[in-house]
Amino acid sequence: MASAELEKPAAERRPDADHAPERKVARNFLALAGGDAVARIVAFLAGAYVAREFGPGAFGAMLFASAVLLYFQNLSECGIDLLGVRHISENVQRIETVAPAILGARVVVSCVLAALVFGLGLSLSALGALPAVDGWVLSFYGLTLVAIGPNTKWIHLGLQDSRPVAIARTLGESLYLVLVLAFVKEATQITRVPLFQLCGDAVIATTLFVWLRAKGFKLRIGFDWQLVKPIFARSWPLVANVLLGLTIYNSDLIFLRFLRDRETSGKYAAAYQLISFLINLAAAYSLSFLAGLSRVQHERDRRDALYHTAAATMFALALPIAVGASLLSGGIVDLVYKSEFAESAGILAILVWTMPFTVSKEVDLIALVAGGREKTVMHMTAWAVAFNFLLNIALIPPFGMWGAAWATLATEAIRAAIAAWCARKLEYPLTGLARFWKSGAAAGAMALVLYFLPPLHVLVAIALGAVAYGGVLAALGGIRFERGKLPALRV
């Protein structure tokens, strides 16, 4: 069982109970992001297999269903994957007092939504709005929602223990990939893909639940609406914020699907798949950051120090990705997909520049959530959604997926600016340029290396670019090396 010190609410702990929150956030991020990266690479390989073997049409059908499902996935989570992390990090005893009721409520919600999506897919197919195969793909993806309710990822992250999440994700996604490679051999069999995803998600949820029980927590699934009602009342702005954010994330794909064609949406989705992988790594850091920030929320100096470190760290990770991927986009797309996806390279070169804005926005968003400003987060995203819709309507009809890409980039820039302004209102100080110049100089050096390189295999170019960035950053003191320890980022 957790120690007595951890069982106390955060406000009652000794000031020195949590040493070096920046290091703890970094360790949890490395564990979570490492496992998340492996899991998402494995899942990405399944999608890339469908794209390469069956073409943009089948891939577009799968990605369109996934885009629609994202809305229902976040409704099933009920905002707990953010609010729950803070809830547990403030008081570990809630795992046995409140968490069972939260899990029970989420199970009910996720099962109802699964039935709703299953019927929606069949209805759209029957009405002729979707081809029969596309309708079944959407229906079967709906079934994956049932695994969200009992998923206890938020409890592990609230405990600042990301290792179980990383291991469970890797196991589940690996099973998913093996099943897809073994049993999906022709385009008509893509209806099996979401069913195999359900198998992987069930393994993830079961592993995490059993892991908590093995650690001594008497966790169960219960039903007590009166207990969870005030928590859900606080979480709904976060649910609304995520749904609005998803509207920005995939409205371009949905617009392209209905205003253009299946193939165009498939080519755009191919580029976005690479971006979504990177965005999810940023989200992994955010969850680790939320748990650490919640514990020092009432200690102004430690709070601000952690906030500045998070902003500088995320920038140092996002900027070289944006620079490198934009310069090597053609080789990356050619490596992952076939020649019929060549147009996706230009889209990737634009979309990857959303990364620096996205990570900046994520850090400020988590700062607002930790400060209890859930409604501010929702209002911020609502304004960005309105801006995104106007841009999509203006740019997609004349420019197709190029217009969609520029609309997405402009929207992320606006979201980052609004989030930064809201964080200043909450008295988070602006992070000085001194925390960013080393990363900027190293990224500039990497860009020069990549620009003047002779034609090389893209993997060799990526490796050389990474060496150039890391070498210059280390020379400037941005990476510290200590005997017996892993290199540490110091920006």
324 has a pLDDT exceeding 70: yes
Looking up tokens 């577009």 gives 60
Based on the domain organization, do 453 and 400 belong to the same domain? no
1 has a pLDDT exceeding 50: no
Last residue of a domain, one of 389, 404, 435: 435
What 3-state DSSP class applies to 261?
A: coil
Q: Work out the pLDDT band at 45, boundaries 50, 70, 90.
A: confident
Angstrom distances, CA of residue 113 to CA of 119, 120, 141, 201: 10, 10, 11, 16
Based on the domain organization, do 429 and 453 belong to the same domain? no
Nearest-angstrom CA–CA distance, 277 and 489: 22
Residue 1 lies in a domain: no
Q: What is the pTM of this model?
A: 0.66
CB 162 within 8 A of CB 26: no
371 has a pLDDT exceeding 70: yes
Residue type, 7: E
Based on the domain organization, do 354 and 487 belong to the same domain? no
Based on the domain organization, do 60 and 172 belong to the same domain? yes
CB 36 within 8 A of CB 166: yes
Based on the domain organization, do 150 and 166 belong to the same domain? yes
- The pair of structure tokens assigned to 23 is 């290091």
Residue 2 lies in a domain: no
Based on the domain organization, do 357 and 486 belong to the same domain? no
Based on the domain organization, do 409 and 455 belong to the same domain? no
Based on the domain organization, do 233 and 344 belong to the same domain? yes
- Expressed as residue numbers, the domain containing 471 is 436-491
CB 265 within 8 A of CB 257: yes
Query: Beta-carbon neighbour count of residue 134 at 10 Å?
Result: 24
Looking up tokens 């926005």 gives 361
> For 236-263, what is the mean pLDDT?
74
> Which of the residue ranges 43-52, 87-96, 123-132, 405-414 would you say has the lowest mean pLDDT?
43-52
Q: Is 261 exposed, middle or buried (0-12, 13-18, 19+ CB in 10 A)?
A: middle
Q: What phi and psi values does residue 305 have, to the nearest 5 degrees?
A: -65, -45
CB 122 within 8 A of CB 100: no
Residue 13 lies in a domain: no
pLDDT given at position 328: 93
Last residue of a domain, one of 387, 404, 435: 435
Sequence-distant (6+) residues with CB within 8 A of 444 are none
Based on the domain organization, do 245 and 382 belong to the same domain? yes
Residue 100 lies in a domain: yes
Nearest-angstrom CA–CA distance, 332 and 259: 28
Based on the domain organization, do 178 and 239 belong to the same domain? yes
Classify the C-alpha dihedral 135-139-142-147 as positive or negative: negative
258 has a pLDDT exceeding 80: no
Nearest-angstrom CA–CA distance, 363 and 304: 12
Last residue of a domain, one of 435, 452, 476: 435
Residue 163 lies in a domain: yes
- The pair of structure tokens assigned to 327 is 């310069």
Q: Work out the pLDDT band at 440, boundaries 50, 70, 90.
A: very high
Based on the domain organization, do 314 and 459 belong to the same domain? no
Based on the domain organization, do 89 and 140 belong to the same domain? yes
CB 199 within 8 A of CB 176: yes
Query: Beta-carbon neighbour count of residue 453 at 10 Å?
Result: 15
Range 457-474 burial, b when 16+ CB lie within 10 A, else e: ebeebbeebeebbbebbb
Residue 92 lies in a domain: yes
* Residue of 154, 213, 165, 169 lying closest to 41 (CA atoms): 169
Q: Total structural domains in the chain?
A: 2
Residue 147 lies in a domain: yes
438 has a pLDDT exceeding 60: yes
Residue 3 lies in a domain: no
- Helix (H) or strand (E) holding 33, with range, is helix 21-77
